[in-house]
A and B are shown apart, each in its own frame.
Chain A
Protein backbone atom coordinates (compact mmCIF):
# COMPACT_ATOMS: atom_id res chain seq x y z
CA UNK A 1 0.00 0.00 0.00
CA UNK A 2 1.22 3.47 -0.83
CA UNK A 3 2.01 5.47 2.28
CA UNK A 4 -0.42 8.32 2.75
CA UNK A 5 1.09 11.18 4.66
CA UNK A 6 0.93 14.90 5.14
CA UNK A 7 3.78 17.32 5.15
CA UNK A 8 5.57 16.92 8.46
CA UNK A 9 3.77 19.30 10.82
CA UNK A 10 6.60 19.41 13.33
CA UNK A 11 9.37 20.19 10.95
CA UNK A 12 12.14 17.76 11.81
CA UNK A 13 11.34 15.61 8.81
CA UNK A 14 11.48 12.30 10.67
CA UNK A 15 8.34 10.45 11.72
CA UNK A 16 8.26 9.37 15.37
CA UNK A 17 6.22 6.30 14.52
CA UNK A 18 6.61 4.83 11.08
CA UNK A 19 4.59 1.87 9.88
CA UNK A 20 5.17 0.19 6.52
CA UNK A 21 3.07 -2.53 4.91
CA UNK A 22 1.88 -3.93 8.23
CA UNK A 23 -0.25 -7.07 8.02
CA UNK A 24 -1.66 -9.37 10.65
CA UNK A 25 -3.90 -12.38 10.21
CA UNK A 26 -5.65 -14.63 12.72
CA UNK A 27 -6.28 -17.88 10.91
CA UNK A 28 -8.18 -16.90 7.78
CA UNK A 29 -9.19 -13.50 9.12
CA UNK A 30 -7.06 -10.59 7.95
CA UNK A 31 -7.19 -8.27 10.95
CA UNK A 32 -4.77 -5.68 9.57
CA UNK A 33 -4.21 -5.56 5.85
CA UNK A 34 -1.09 -3.91 4.47
CA UNK A 35 -1.37 -0.60 6.28
CA UNK A 36 1.16 2.23 6.29
CA UNK A 37 1.28 5.54 8.10
CA UNK A 38 3.59 7.95 9.88
CA UNK A 39 3.06 9.81 13.12
CA UNK A 40 5.24 12.84 13.73
CA UNK A 41 6.79 13.99 16.96
CA UNK A 42 4.34 15.94 19.11
CA UNK A 43 1.40 15.02 16.90
CA UNK A 44 -1.99 13.83 18.14
CA UNK A 45 -2.93 11.15 15.66
CA UNK A 46 -6.40 9.61 15.62
CA UNK A 47 -7.14 6.07 14.51
CA UNK A 48 -10.83 5.60 13.87
CA UNK A 49 -12.88 2.64 12.86
CA UNK A 50 -15.78 0.41 13.82
CA UNK A 51 -15.57 -2.67 16.01
CA UNK A 52 -13.26 -5.29 14.56
CA UNK A 53 -11.70 -2.83 12.12
CA UNK A 54 -8.19 -3.62 13.35
CA UNK A 55 -7.51 -0.69 15.69
CA UNK A 56 -6.53 -2.67 18.77
CA UNK A 57 -4.56 -5.21 16.72
CA UNK A 58 -2.60 -2.34 15.20
CA UNK A 59 -1.90 -0.84 18.64
CA UNK A 60 -0.90 -4.25 19.98
CA UNK A 61 1.61 -4.64 17.17
CA UNK A 62 2.99 -1.15 17.76
CA UNK A 63 3.49 -1.71 21.48
CA UNK A 64 4.83 -5.25 21.19
CA UNK A 65 1.87 -7.32 22.38
CA UNK A 66 1.30 -8.85 18.96
CA UNK A 67 3.66 -9.96 16.24
CA UNK A 68 3.05 -8.69 12.70
CA UNK A 69 2.95 -11.27 9.91
CA UNK A 70 4.76 -8.80 7.66
CA UNK A 71 5.70 -5.16 7.48
CA UNK A 72 7.89 -2.93 9.61
CA UNK A 73 7.44 -0.70 12.63
CA UNK A 74 9.90 2.01 13.61
CA UNK A 75 9.43 3.97 16.81
CA UNK A 76 11.73 6.89 17.54
CA UNK A 77 14.19 5.46 15.05
CA UNK A 78 14.29 1.97 16.58
CA UNK A 79 13.26 -1.05 14.56
CA UNK A 80 10.52 -2.58 16.69
CA UNK A 81 9.08 -5.25 14.43
CA UNK A 82 11.37 -7.99 15.67
CA UNK A 83 12.53 -6.27 18.84
CA UNK A 84 9.56 -4.54 20.46
CA UNK A 85 11.52 -4.04 23.69
CA UNK A 86 13.68 -1.48 21.84
CA UNK A 87 11.14 1.30 22.30
CA UNK A 88 9.23 0.23 25.39
CA UNK A 89 11.04 2.75 27.61
CA UNK A 90 9.69 5.51 25.35
CA UNK A 91 6.06 4.49 25.19
CA UNK A 92 3.14 4.70 27.56
CA UNK A 93 0.06 2.58 26.99
CA UNK A 94 -3.49 3.11 28.17
CA UNK A 95 -5.42 -0.01 27.14
CA UNK A 96 -9.13 -0.04 26.33
CA UNK A 97 -9.83 -1.70 29.68
CA UNK A 98 -8.50 -0.43 32.99
CA UNK A 99 -6.03 -3.11 33.93
CA UNK A 100 -4.38 -2.02 37.16
CA UNK A 101 -4.19 -4.18 40.26
CA UNK A 102 -7.50 -4.28 42.16
CA UNK A 103 -5.82 -5.21 45.44
CA UNK A 104 -3.45 -2.23 45.46
CA UNK A 105 -4.42 1.33 46.32
CA UNK A 106 -4.46 3.99 43.62
CA UNK A 107 -1.22 5.46 44.95
CA UNK A 108 0.52 2.07 45.20
CA UNK A 109 -0.60 1.17 41.67
CA UNK A 110 1.07 4.29 40.31
CA UNK A 111 4.25 3.69 42.32
CA UNK A 112 4.38 0.10 41.10
CA UNK A 113 3.93 1.12 37.46
CA UNK A 114 6.74 3.68 37.85
CA UNK A 115 9.01 1.03 39.34
CA UNK A 116 8.62 -1.06 36.16
CA UNK A 117 10.53 1.71 34.38
CA UNK A 118 13.31 1.74 36.96
CA UNK A 119 12.28 4.95 38.70
CA UNK A 120 13.65 5.30 42.23
CA UNK A 121 11.32 5.20 45.25
CA UNK A 122 11.35 8.87 46.23
CA UNK A 123 10.87 10.00 42.66
CA UNK A 124 8.02 7.57 41.96
CA UNK A 125 6.23 8.63 45.14
CA UNK A 126 6.63 12.26 44.13
CA UNK A 127 5.28 11.59 40.62
CA UNK A 128 2.40 9.46 41.93
CA UNK A 129 1.33 12.22 44.33
CA UNK A 130 1.55 14.78 41.55
CA UNK A 131 -0.57 12.71 39.17
CA UNK A 132 -3.12 11.84 41.85
CA UNK A 133 -3.54 15.59 42.35
CA UNK A 134 -3.68 16.37 38.62
CA UNK A 135 -6.37 13.76 38.09
CA UNK A 136 -8.36 14.88 41.14
CA UNK A 137 -8.09 11.52 42.90
CA UNK A 138 -6.68 12.74 46.24
CA UNK A 139 -9.54 11.36 48.32
CA UNK A 140 -9.36 7.94 46.68
CA UNK A 141 -5.56 7.67 46.62
CA UNK A 142 -5.36 5.21 49.51
CA UNK A 143 -8.42 3.22 48.48
CA UNK A 144 -8.08 -0.08 46.65
CA UNK A 145 -8.30 0.29 42.86
CA UNK A 146 -11.00 -2.39 42.80
CA UNK A 147 -13.36 -0.03 44.64
CA UNK A 148 -13.01 2.81 42.11
CA UNK A 149 -15.80 3.93 39.78
CA UNK A 150 -15.30 3.44 36.02
CA UNK A 151 -14.34 7.08 35.51
CA UNK A 152 -11.83 6.99 38.35
CA UNK A 153 -10.38 3.76 37.00
CA UNK A 154 -9.88 5.32 33.57
CA UNK A 155 -8.18 8.36 35.08
CA UNK A 156 -5.82 6.25 37.17
CA UNK A 157 -5.08 4.01 34.18
CA UNK A 158 -4.11 7.07 32.15
CA UNK A 159 -1.99 8.30 35.06
CA UNK A 160 -0.28 4.90 35.15
CA UNK A 161 0.41 5.18 31.42
CA UNK A 162 2.22 8.49 31.79
CA UNK A 163 3.97 8.12 35.15
CA UNK A 164 7.29 7.40 33.46
CA UNK A 165 6.78 10.51 31.30
CA UNK A 166 6.88 8.75 27.94
CA UNK A 167 7.32 10.88 24.82
CA UNK A 168 4.82 8.60 23.01
CA UNK A 169 1.44 7.66 24.41
CA UNK A 170 -0.95 5.06 23.02
CA UNK A 171 -4.53 5.63 24.12
CA UNK A 172 -7.03 2.92 23.24
CA UNK A 173 -10.63 4.15 23.58
CA UNK A 174 -9.86 6.33 26.62
CA UNK A 175 -13.37 7.68 27.17
CA UNK A 176 -15.52 4.67 26.33
CA UNK A 177 -18.04 3.60 28.93
CA UNK A 178 -17.52 6.43 31.41
CA UNK A 179 -19.68 9.34 32.56
CA UNK A 180 -19.80 12.62 30.67
CA UNK A 181 -17.94 14.66 33.30
CA UNK A 182 -15.06 12.19 33.52
CA UNK A 183 -14.88 11.91 29.72
CA UNK A 184 -14.65 15.69 29.44
CA UNK A 185 -11.90 15.81 32.05
CA UNK A 186 -9.97 13.06 30.27
CA UNK A 187 -10.24 14.90 26.94
CA UNK A 188 -8.84 17.98 28.60
CA UNK A 189 -5.97 15.93 30.02
CA UNK A 190 -5.22 14.47 26.59
CA UNK A 191 -5.22 17.96 25.16
CA UNK A 192 -2.85 19.15 27.91
CA UNK A 193 -0.48 16.23 27.29
CA UNK A 194 -0.51 17.00 23.60
CA UNK A 195 0.31 20.64 24.21
CA UNK A 196 3.09 19.58 26.55
CA UNK A 197 4.70 17.84 23.56
CA UNK A 198 3.66 14.20 23.98
CA UNK A 199 3.11 12.30 20.73
CA UNK A 200 -0.29 10.67 21.06
CA UNK A 201 -1.77 7.78 19.12
CA UNK A 202 -5.47 7.74 19.93
CA UNK A 203 -8.02 5.16 18.91
CA UNK A 204 -11.64 6.03 19.46
CA UNK A 205 -15.05 5.43 18.00
CA UNK A 206 -16.24 8.86 19.23
CA UNK A 207 -15.72 10.74 16.02
CA UNK A 208 -16.47 14.12 17.55
CA UNK A 209 -13.77 13.41 20.13
CA UNK A 210 -11.26 12.71 17.38
CA UNK A 211 -12.37 15.77 15.45
CA UNK A 212 -11.88 17.97 18.48
CA UNK A 213 -8.57 16.55 19.66
CA UNK A 214 -6.64 15.16 16.71
CA UNK A 215 -4.49 16.88 14.13
CA UNK A 216 -4.58 14.00 11.69
CA UNK A 217 -6.88 11.04 11.45
CA UNK A 218 -6.77 7.65 9.78
CA UNK A 219 -9.98 5.76 9.10
CA UNK A 220 -9.57 2.01 9.27
CA UNK A 221 -12.24 -0.40 8.07
CA UNK A 222 -11.84 -4.17 7.69
CA UNK A 223 -8.14 -3.89 8.41
CA UNK A 224 -7.46 -1.34 5.68
CA UNK A 225 -6.79 2.37 6.02
CA UNK A 226 -9.30 4.01 3.73
CA UNK A 227 -8.35 7.61 4.40
CA UNK A 228 -5.66 9.46 6.26
CA UNK A 229 -5.31 13.22 6.41
CA UNK A 230 -5.59 16.29 8.58
CA UNK A 231 -9.03 17.02 10.01
CA UNK A 232 -9.17 20.16 7.90
CA UNK A 233 -8.41 18.32 4.66
CA UNK A 234 -10.82 15.52 5.44
CA UNK A 235 -13.61 18.04 5.98
CA UNK A 236 -12.82 19.98 2.81
CA UNK A 237 -15.05 18.06 0.34
CA UNK A 238 -18.15 18.48 2.48
CA UNK A 239 -17.44 21.95 3.80
CA UNK A 240 -20.06 23.62 1.56
CA UNK A 241 -22.67 20.88 1.77
CA UNK A 242 -26.04 21.47 3.41
CA UNK A 243 -27.23 18.47 5.36
CA UNK A 244 -30.45 17.75 7.24
CA UNK A 245 -31.71 14.82 9.24
CA UNK A 246 -35.47 14.34 9.19
CA UNK A 247 -37.01 11.99 11.74
CA UNK A 248 -40.33 10.46 10.77
CA UNK A 249 -42.80 8.22 12.56
CA UNK A 250 -42.25 5.27 10.18
CA UNK A 251 -41.53 4.04 6.62
CA UNK A 252 -38.46 6.20 6.07
CA UNK A 253 -37.01 3.64 3.68
CA UNK A 254 -40.12 3.71 1.48
CA UNK A 255 -40.42 7.46 1.71
CA UNK A 256 -36.89 8.34 0.73
CA UNK A 257 -37.37 6.84 -2.74
CA UNK A 258 -40.47 8.95 -3.33
CA UNK A 259 -38.58 12.00 -2.10
CA UNK A 260 -35.76 11.31 -4.53
CA UNK A 261 -38.22 11.33 -7.43
CA UNK A 262 -39.97 14.48 -6.27
CA UNK A 263 -36.81 16.43 -5.39
CA UNK A 264 -34.17 15.30 -7.90
CA UNK A 265 -31.77 18.13 -6.96
CA UNK A 266 -31.47 16.73 -3.43
CA UNK A 267 -29.75 13.54 -2.29
CA UNK A 268 -31.66 11.32 0.12
CA UNK A 269 -30.48 8.45 2.28
CA UNK A 270 -32.57 6.33 4.66
CA UNK A 271 -30.46 6.06 7.79
CA UNK A 272 -32.96 3.82 9.55
CA UNK A 273 -36.70 3.09 9.57
CA UNK A 274 -37.32 6.51 11.07
CA UNK A 275 -34.51 8.73 9.80
CA UNK A 276 -33.82 10.26 6.41
CA UNK A 277 -30.69 12.20 5.57
CA UNK A 278 -30.99 15.01 3.01
CA UNK A 279 -27.98 16.56 1.32
CA UNK A 280 -27.56 19.37 -1.14
CA UNK A 281 -25.03 21.84 -2.50
CA UNK A 282 -27.64 24.60 -2.13
CA UNK A 283 -29.97 25.70 0.65
CA UNK A 284 -32.65 23.12 1.44
CA UNK A 285 -36.26 24.28 1.41
CA UNK A 286 -37.58 22.59 4.52
CA UNK A 287 -41.26 23.52 4.16
CA UNK A 288 -41.86 21.72 0.87
CA UNK A 289 -40.04 18.65 2.11
CA UNK A 290 -42.04 18.39 5.31
CA UNK A 291 -45.33 18.96 3.49
CA UNK A 292 -44.50 16.20 1.03
CA UNK A 293 -43.71 13.77 3.82
CA UNK A 294 -46.89 14.57 5.74
CA UNK A 295 -48.96 14.30 2.54
CA UNK A 296 -47.66 10.75 2.26
CA UNK A 297 -49.04 9.78 5.66
CA UNK A 298 -45.89 10.03 7.79
CA UNK A 299 -45.52 12.27 10.80
CA UNK A 300 -42.38 14.38 11.05
CA UNK A 301 -41.07 14.21 14.61
CA UNK A 302 -37.87 16.21 14.09
CA UNK A 303 -36.02 18.04 11.37
CA UNK A 304 -32.58 19.43 12.06
CA UNK A 305 -29.76 20.86 10.07
CA UNK A 306 -26.37 19.40 10.85
CA UNK A 307 -23.08 21.15 10.32
CA UNK A 308 -20.57 19.37 8.11
CA UNK A 309 -18.54 17.23 10.44
CA UNK A 310 -16.06 14.41 10.41
CA UNK A 311 -19.01 12.16 11.11
CA UNK A 312 -20.27 12.99 7.64
CA UNK A 313 -16.89 12.20 6.15
CA UNK A 314 -16.77 8.91 8.00
CA UNK A 315 -20.26 7.91 6.87
CA UNK A 316 -19.46 8.83 3.28
CA UNK A 317 -16.22 6.92 3.23
CA UNK A 318 -17.30 3.83 5.11
CA UNK A 319 -21.05 3.64 4.74
CA UNK A 320 -21.16 2.82 8.44
CA UNK A 321 -23.61 4.65 10.66
CA UNK A 322 -21.94 6.04 13.74
CA UNK A 323 -24.84 5.39 16.08
CA UNK A 324 -24.65 1.70 15.10
CA UNK A 325 -20.90 1.74 15.73
CA UNK A 326 -21.36 3.33 19.15
CA UNK A 327 -24.09 0.92 20.15
CA UNK A 328 -21.91 -2.04 19.19
CA UNK A 329 -19.07 -0.70 21.25
CA UNK A 330 -21.19 0.02 24.30
CA UNK A 331 -22.71 -3.46 24.02
CA UNK A 332 -19.24 -4.98 23.98
CA UNK A 333 -18.16 -2.93 26.98
CA UNK A 334 -21.27 -4.00 28.85
CA UNK A 335 -20.58 -7.61 28.02
CA UNK A 336 -16.97 -7.29 29.16
CA UNK A 337 -17.93 -5.73 32.44
CA UNK A 338 -20.36 -8.53 33.28
Chain B
Protein backbone atom coordinates (compact mmCIF):
# COMPACT_ATOMS: atom_id res chain seq x y z
CA UNK B 1 0.00 0.00 0.00
CA UNK B 2 2.77 2.44 1.02
CA UNK B 3 4.60 1.79 -2.22
CA UNK B 4 1.53 2.53 -4.27
CA UNK B 5 0.99 5.82 -2.43
CA UNK B 6 4.52 6.76 -3.48
CA UNK B 7 3.92 5.50 -7.03
CA UNK B 8 0.70 7.47 -7.45
CA UNK B 9 2.17 10.68 -6.04
CA UNK B 10 5.31 10.54 -8.19
CA UNK B 11 3.13 10.17 -11.27
CA UNK B 12 0.75 12.90 -10.14
CA UNK B 13 3.62 15.27 -9.34
CA UNK B 14 5.15 14.76 -12.78
CA UNK B 15 1.80 15.32 -14.50
CA UNK B 16 1.28 18.55 -12.59
CA UNK B 17 4.84 19.82 -12.77
CA UNK B 18 5.78 18.88 -16.29
CA UNK B 19 3.07 17.46 -18.51
CA UNK B 20 -0.03 19.53 -17.81
CA UNK B 21 1.70 22.84 -18.42
CA UNK B 22 0.29 25.16 -21.11
CA UNK B 23 3.36 24.87 -23.40
CA UNK B 24 3.14 21.08 -23.36
CA UNK B 25 -0.60 21.03 -23.90
CA UNK B 26 -0.31 23.44 -26.82
CA UNK B 27 2.59 21.36 -28.18
CA UNK B 28 0.40 18.28 -27.84
CA UNK B 29 -2.33 19.97 -29.89
CA UNK B 30 -0.34 21.96 -32.43
CA UNK B 31 2.18 19.30 -33.32
CA UNK B 32 -0.27 16.63 -34.52
CA UNK B 33 -2.39 19.24 -36.28
CA UNK B 34 0.66 20.55 -38.12
CA UNK B 35 1.78 17.10 -39.22
CA UNK B 36 -1.72 16.11 -40.27
CA UNK B 37 -1.99 19.32 -42.26
CA UNK B 38 1.38 18.80 -43.91
CA UNK B 39 0.74 15.26 -45.11
CA UNK B 40 -2.86 16.06 -45.94
CA UNK B 41 -1.75 18.82 -48.31
CA UNK B 42 1.07 16.67 -49.70
CA UNK B 43 -1.18 13.68 -50.45
CA UNK B 44 -3.42 15.77 -52.69
CA UNK B 45 -6.23 13.25 -52.22
CA UNK B 46 -8.45 15.41 -50.08
CA UNK B 47 -10.36 13.94 -47.16
CA UNK B 48 -9.82 10.40 -48.47
CA UNK B 49 -6.26 10.54 -47.23
CA UNK B 50 -7.26 11.06 -43.61
CA UNK B 51 -7.53 7.35 -42.82
CA UNK B 52 -4.15 6.54 -44.33
CA UNK B 53 -2.51 9.45 -42.49
CA UNK B 54 -4.10 8.78 -39.11
CA UNK B 55 -1.80 5.94 -37.88
CA UNK B 56 1.34 7.93 -38.70
CA UNK B 57 0.08 11.12 -37.09
CA UNK B 58 -1.02 9.26 -33.96
CA UNK B 59 2.37 7.55 -33.69
CA UNK B 60 4.33 10.76 -34.22
CA UNK B 61 2.22 12.55 -31.60
CA UNK B 62 3.06 9.86 -29.07
CA UNK B 63 6.71 9.67 -30.04
CA UNK B 64 7.38 13.39 -29.71
CA UNK B 65 5.18 13.85 -26.65
CA UNK B 66 6.86 11.11 -24.64
CA UNK B 67 10.53 10.90 -25.60
CA UNK B 68 11.25 14.62 -25.37
CA UNK B 69 9.39 15.20 -22.11
CA UNK B 70 10.67 12.18 -20.23
CA UNK B 71 14.30 12.45 -21.29
CA UNK B 72 14.36 16.16 -20.44
CA UNK B 73 12.56 15.88 -17.10
CA UNK B 74 14.63 12.96 -15.82
CA UNK B 75 17.88 14.63 -16.92
CA UNK B 76 16.76 17.88 -15.33
CA UNK B 77 15.94 16.18 -12.03
CA UNK B 78 19.21 14.30 -12.11
CA UNK B 79 21.08 17.52 -12.77
CA UNK B 80 19.48 19.47 -9.90
CA UNK B 81 19.76 16.38 -7.68
CA UNK B 82 16.05 16.16 -6.88
CA UNK B 83 16.18 12.69 -8.43
CA UNK B 84 18.26 11.63 -5.43
CA UNK B 85 15.14 12.11 -3.28
CA UNK B 86 13.41 9.47 -5.34
CA UNK B 87 16.37 7.11 -5.17
CA UNK B 88 16.30 7.46 -1.38
CA UNK B 89 12.62 6.61 -1.12
CA UNK B 90 11.96 3.15 0.32
CA UNK B 91 10.50 1.80 -2.92
CA UNK B 92 12.16 -0.59 -5.38
CA UNK B 93 13.92 1.08 -8.29
CA UNK B 94 11.71 -0.80 -10.76
CA UNK B 95 8.55 0.69 -9.24
CA UNK B 96 10.14 4.11 -9.00
CA UNK B 97 11.00 4.12 -12.68
CA UNK B 98 7.54 2.85 -13.59
CA UNK B 99 6.12 5.76 -11.59
CA UNK B 100 8.42 8.21 -13.38
CA UNK B 101 7.40 6.84 -16.77
CA UNK B 102 3.66 6.46 -16.11
CA UNK B 103 3.03 10.19 -16.45
CA UNK B 104 4.73 10.26 -19.84
CA UNK B 105 2.88 7.15 -20.99
CA UNK B 106 -0.43 8.71 -20.03
CA UNK B 107 0.52 12.00 -21.69
CA UNK B 108 1.56 10.18 -24.88
CA UNK B 109 -1.66 8.15 -24.92
CA UNK B 110 -3.80 11.27 -24.57
CA UNK B 111 -1.71 12.99 -27.28
CA UNK B 112 -2.47 10.14 -29.68
CA UNK B 113 -6.19 10.82 -29.48
CA UNK B 114 -5.91 14.49 -30.43
CA UNK B 115 -5.58 13.64 -34.16
CA UNK B 116 -8.34 11.03 -33.71
CA UNK B 117 -10.60 13.73 -32.33
CA UNK B 118 -9.81 16.00 -35.28
CA UNK B 119 -10.27 13.07 -37.68
CA UNK B 120 -13.77 12.45 -36.32
CA UNK B 121 -14.91 15.70 -37.96
CA UNK B 122 -13.17 15.05 -41.26
CA UNK B 123 -13.58 11.38 -42.06
CA UNK B 124 -15.66 8.31 -41.41
CA UNK B 125 -13.84 6.38 -38.69
CA UNK B 126 -16.54 3.74 -38.23
CA UNK B 127 -14.35 0.98 -39.70
CA UNK B 128 -11.56 1.57 -37.19
CA UNK B 129 -11.03 -1.34 -34.77
CA UNK B 130 -10.77 0.62 -31.54
CA UNK B 131 -10.13 -2.45 -29.43
CA UNK B 132 -6.89 -2.89 -31.34
CA UNK B 133 -6.07 0.82 -31.60
CA UNK B 134 -6.20 1.44 -27.85
CA UNK B 135 -3.68 -1.24 -26.78
CA UNK B 136 -1.50 -0.32 -29.75
CA UNK B 137 -1.46 3.32 -28.68
CA UNK B 138 -0.58 2.31 -25.12
CA UNK B 139 2.22 0.03 -26.33
CA UNK B 140 3.65 2.76 -28.60
CA UNK B 141 3.48 5.18 -25.66
CA UNK B 142 5.28 2.70 -23.41
CA UNK B 143 7.96 1.94 -26.02
CA UNK B 144 8.52 5.65 -26.78
CA UNK B 145 8.63 6.52 -23.08
CA UNK B 146 11.14 3.79 -22.34
CA UNK B 147 13.19 5.04 -25.27
CA UNK B 148 13.10 8.46 -23.57
CA UNK B 149 14.20 6.81 -20.33
CA UNK B 150 17.04 5.05 -22.11
CA UNK B 151 18.14 8.41 -23.53
CA UNK B 152 17.82 10.14 -20.13
CA UNK B 153 20.09 7.66 -18.38
CA UNK B 154 22.62 7.77 -21.19
CA UNK B 155 23.30 11.53 -20.96
CA UNK B 156 24.03 14.01 -18.21
CA UNK B 157 22.92 17.36 -19.64
CA UNK B 158 19.45 18.49 -20.69
CA UNK B 159 20.68 19.70 -24.10
CA UNK B 160 22.32 16.30 -24.69
CA UNK B 161 18.98 14.64 -23.97
CA UNK B 162 17.29 16.79 -26.61
CA UNK B 163 20.01 16.15 -29.17
CA UNK B 164 20.08 12.43 -28.47
CA UNK B 165 16.24 12.28 -28.68
CA UNK B 166 16.30 13.85 -32.12
CA UNK B 167 18.99 11.43 -33.21
CA UNK B 168 16.46 8.63 -32.68
CA UNK B 169 13.20 10.38 -33.43
CA UNK B 170 13.67 12.01 -36.79
CA UNK B 171 14.97 8.89 -38.57
CA UNK B 172 12.05 6.99 -37.00
CA UNK B 173 9.55 9.28 -38.74
CA UNK B 174 10.82 8.07 -42.09
CA UNK B 175 11.90 4.54 -41.28
CA UNK B 176 9.01 3.15 -39.23
CA UNK B 177 6.23 3.27 -41.79
CA UNK B 178 4.52 6.34 -40.36
CA UNK B 179 3.98 8.00 -43.72
CA UNK B 180 5.98 5.84 -46.11
CA UNK B 181 5.33 2.08 -46.13
CA UNK B 182 8.25 0.02 -44.85
CA UNK B 183 7.94 -2.31 -47.86
CA UNK B 184 8.72 0.56 -50.21
CA UNK B 185 11.93 1.54 -48.37
CA UNK B 186 15.28 0.84 -50.09
CA UNK B 187 16.59 -2.65 -49.28
CA UNK B 188 19.49 -1.38 -47.17
CA UNK B 189 17.12 0.63 -44.91
CA UNK B 190 14.65 -2.17 -44.26
CA UNK B 191 16.77 -3.96 -41.62
CA UNK B 192 17.09 -0.67 -39.73
CA UNK B 193 13.35 -0.22 -39.91
CA UNK B 194 12.76 -3.66 -38.41
CA UNK B 195 15.15 -2.86 -35.59
CA UNK B 196 12.98 0.05 -34.43
CA UNK B 197 10.10 -0.63 -32.03
CA UNK B 198 7.84 2.01 -33.56
CA UNK B 199 7.67 0.03 -36.80
CA UNK B 200 5.63 -2.67 -35.06
CA UNK B 201 3.37 -0.19 -33.25
CA UNK B 202 2.61 1.69 -36.45
CA UNK B 203 1.95 -1.60 -38.24
CA UNK B 204 -0.71 -2.45 -35.66
CA UNK B 205 -2.30 0.98 -36.15
CA UNK B 206 -2.31 0.55 -39.93
CA UNK B 207 -3.99 -2.80 -39.45
CA UNK B 208 -6.58 -1.44 -37.03
CA UNK B 209 -7.42 1.64 -39.07
CA UNK B 210 -7.21 0.35 -42.64
CA UNK B 211 -6.55 -3.36 -42.38
CA UNK B 212 -3.21 -3.11 -44.21
CA UNK B 213 -0.73 -4.44 -41.65
CA UNK B 214 2.35 -6.21 -43.04
CA UNK B 215 2.90 -8.60 -40.08
CA UNK B 216 0.35 -10.56 -38.07
CA UNK B 217 -0.86 -8.34 -35.23
CA UNK B 218 0.19 -10.79 -32.54
CA UNK B 219 3.75 -10.71 -33.90
CA UNK B 220 3.69 -6.90 -33.79
CA UNK B 221 2.40 -6.92 -30.21
CA UNK B 222 4.94 -9.52 -29.15
CA UNK B 223 7.88 -7.65 -30.66
CA UNK B 224 6.93 -4.22 -29.34
CA UNK B 225 6.40 -5.73 -25.87
CA UNK B 226 9.81 -7.34 -26.10
CA UNK B 227 11.35 -3.96 -27.00
CA UNK B 228 9.61 -2.34 -24.02
CA UNK B 229 10.97 -4.95 -21.60
CA UNK B 230 14.50 -4.76 -23.03
CA UNK B 231 14.59 -0.92 -23.03
CA UNK B 232 13.27 -0.79 -19.46
CA UNK B 233 15.78 -3.25 -18.08
CA UNK B 234 18.72 -1.72 -19.94
CA UNK B 235 17.70 1.65 -18.47
CA UNK B 236 17.48 0.17 -14.97
CA UNK B 237 20.88 -1.44 -15.36
CA UNK B 238 22.31 1.89 -16.51
CA UNK B 239 20.82 3.65 -13.49
CA UNK B 240 22.40 1.08 -11.18
CA UNK B 241 25.72 1.40 -12.95
CA UNK B 242 25.87 5.12 -13.60
CA UNK B 243 23.79 6.81 -10.92
CA UNK B 244 24.46 4.63 -7.89
CA UNK B 245 28.21 4.65 -8.36
Q: Say yes or no for A292: interface residue by CB 8 A criterion.
A: no
Q: Say yes or no for B90: interface residue by CB 8 A criterion.
A: yes
Question: What is the CB-to-nearest-CB distance from A111 to chain B, in angstroms, rounded to a whole number?
Answer: 8
Contacting residue for B2 out of A93, A97, A117, CB 8 A: A117
B93: nearest chain-A partner, CB-CB: A85
Bound complex: CA A214 to CA B8 (Å): 39
Main secondary structure of the interface of B (DSSP, over half): helix
Count CB-based A-B contacts (< 8 Å).
Answer: 68
Bound complex: CA A278 to CA B245 (Å): 46
Tally of contact residues, B, Cβ under 8 A = 24
Question: What is the CB-to-nearest-CB distance from B17 to chain A, in angstroms, rounded to a whole number?
Answer: 5
Q: Say yes or no for B244: interface residue by CB 8 A criterion.
A: yes
Q: Say yes or no for B89: interface residue by CB 8 A criterion.
A: yes
Chain A 133-166 residues near chain B, CB threshold 8 A = 160
- Which residues does chain A contribute within 8 Å of B17, judged by CB atoms? 101, 103-104
Q: Say yes or no for B86: interface residue by CB 8 A criterion.
A: yes
- On whether the beta carbons of A113 and B85 are closer than 8 Å, the reply is yes
Question: What is the CB-to-nearest-CB distance from B88 to chain A, in angstroms, rounded to a whole number?
Answer: 6
Q: Say yes or no for B187: interface residue by CB 8 A criterion.
A: no
Question: What is the CB-to-nearest-CB distance from B37 to chain A, in angstroms, rounded to a whole number?
Answer: 33
Q: Say yes or no for A118: interface residue by CB 8 A criterion.
A: yes
Q: Say yes or no for B105: interface residue by CB 8 A criterion.
A: no
Contacting residue for B6 out of A67, A99, A103, A118, CB 8 A: A118
Contacting residue for B80 out of A89, A102, A116, CB 8 A: A102
Q: Say yes or no for A251: interface residue by CB 8 A criterion.
A: no
- Which residues does chain B contribute within 8 Å of A117, judged by CB atoms? 2, 6, 89-90
- On whether the beta carbons of A97 and B81 are closer than 8 Å, the reply is yes
- Which residues does chain A contribute within 8 Å of B244, judged by CB atoms? 64-67
- On whether the beta carbons of B245 and A116 are closer than 8 Å, the reply is no
Bound complex: CA A64 to CA B89 (Å): 10
- Which residues does chain B contribute within 8 Å of A99, judged by CB atoms? 80-82, 84-85
Bound complex: CA A88 to CA B6 (Å): 14
Q: Say yes or no for B131: interface residue by CB 8 A criterion.
A: no
Chain A 3-61 residues near chain B, CB threshold 8 A = 26
Bound complex: CA A88 to CA B88 (Å): 6
- Which residues does chain A contribute within 8 Å of B5, judged by CB atoms? 115, 118-120
Q: Say yes or no for B13: interface residue by CB 8 A criterion.
A: yes
Q: Say yes or no for B1: interface residue by CB 8 A criterion.
A: yes
Bound complex: CA A233 to CA B24 (Å): 60
**Given A95-B81, A99-B82, A115–B90 Cβ distance below 8 Å?**
no
- On whether the beta carbons of A116 and B6 are closer than 8 Å, the reply is yes
Q: Say yes or no for A112: interface residue by CB 8 A criterion.
A: yes
- On whether the beta carbons of B9 and A112 are closer than 8 Å, the reply is yes
**Given A116-B6, A118-B6, A64–B88 Cβ distance below 8 Å?**
yes
- Which residues does chain B contribute within 8 Å of A104, judged by CB atoms? 13, 17
Question: What is the CB-to-nearest-CB distance from A57 to chain B, in angstroms, rounded to a whole number?
Answer: 10
Q: Say yes or no for A248: interface residue by CB 8 A criterion.
A: no
- On whether the beta carbons of A66 and B81 are closer than 8 Å, the reply is no
Instruction: Scan A64-105; emit 1 where CB is below 8 A from any B CB, else 0.
Output: 111100000000000000000100110101010101111110
Question: What is the CB-to-nearest-CB distance from B153 to chain A, in angstroms, rounded to a whole number?
Answer: 15
- Which residues does chain B contribute within 8 Å of A102, judged by CB atoms? 80
Instruction: Using CB atoms and an 8 Å cutoff, list the residues of chain A in contact with chain B.
Output: 26, 63-67, 85, 88-89, 91, 93, 95, 97, 99-104, 112-113, 115-120, 160
Given contacts A117-B6, A118-B2, 7 further A-B contacts (CB under 8 A): A64-B87, A65-B244, A85-B92, A99-B84, A101-B82, A115-B9, A115-B10
Q: In the A-B complex, list the 9 residue pairs whose CB atoms are closest, starting with the nearest.
A: A118-B2, A115-B9, A116-B89, A99-B81, A88-B90, A89-B90, A118-B5, A103-B17, A99-B82
